[in-house]
């Protein structure tokens, strides 16, 4: 049997519960303050990192701008390259033949012009002297759409020199 009056026991119990609740509340408050300080330090750290990254970004802005300009120039050059490619593909063999007639000196007679599937060409012609043959070969070498030009064949008779110039079409 308990001789302590019930009211007193309830007061003591309430007082202990109050003390326990205060201690628990203080612990919860300390945990919340600690968590808040931890988050505050993280926020400060992130802000410092953001400032450093902003400074780096500011220092890279000229490089980024230069890179954009270079990309634009690259795109323009690609467009020009594509245009040149399309124009080169549109070059007709008829135009090459017309140009060839302008390249050949007056004393040379064009007797044949062949372009095969491998883009190899042959120009057959006649002349009355070697100087015109040499000049014809030089003129054909200088033409921008011909490459690897060489004098492939010559045959001399008393009245004429027949010759063949061969090479590769370079479109």
Spatial contact of 125 and 136, defined as CB atoms under 8 Å apart: yes
Q: Out of 29, 62, 90, pick the residue that ends a domain.
A: 90
- Here the CATH number for the domain that contains residue 154 is 3.30.1360.100
pLDDT tens, position by position, 134-145: 999 999 898 888
Q: Out of 90, 124, 139, pick the residue that ends a domain.
A: 90
Question: pLDDT category, 146, cuts 50, 70, 90?
Answer: confident
Say how many domains are in the chain: 2
Considering all CA atoms of the chain, what is the largest pairwise distance in Å, rounded to the nearest integer?
Answer: 156
Question: What pLDDT is stored for residue 90 in this prediction?
Answer: 61
Q: Are 77 and 7 in the same domain? A: yes
Burial class (CB within 10 angstroms; exposed 0-12, middle 13-18, buried 19+) of 103: buried
Spatial contact of 120 and 168, defined as CB atoms under 8 Å apart: yes
Q: Are 30 and 83 in the same domain? A: yes
0.95 surpassed by pTM: no
What mean pLDDT is reported for the chain? 88
Q: Which domain holds residue 36?
A: 1-90
Q: Are 130 and 48 in the same domain? A: no
């Amino acid at each position: 049997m308990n001789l302590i009056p019930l009211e007193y026991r309830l007061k003591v119990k309430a007082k202990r519960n109050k003390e326990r609740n205060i201690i628990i509340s203080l612990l919860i408050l300390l945990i919340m303050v600690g968590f808040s300080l931890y988050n505050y330090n993280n926020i400060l750290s992130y802000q410092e990192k953001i400032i450093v990254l902003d400074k780096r970004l500011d220092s890279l802005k000229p490089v980024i701008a230069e890179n954009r300009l270079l990309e634009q120039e690259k795109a323009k050059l690609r467009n020009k390259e594509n245009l040149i490619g399309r124009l080169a593909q549109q070059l007709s063999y008829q135009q090459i033949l017309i140009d060839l007639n302008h390249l050949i000196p007056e004393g040379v007679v064009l007797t044949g012009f062949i372009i095969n599937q491998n883009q190899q060409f042959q120009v057959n012609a006649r002349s009355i002297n070697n100087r015109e043959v040499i000049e014809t070969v030089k003129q054909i070498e200088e033409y921008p759409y011909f490459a690897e030009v060489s004098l492939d064949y010559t045959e001399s008779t008393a009245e004429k020199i027949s010759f063949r110039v061969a090479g590769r079409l370079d479109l």
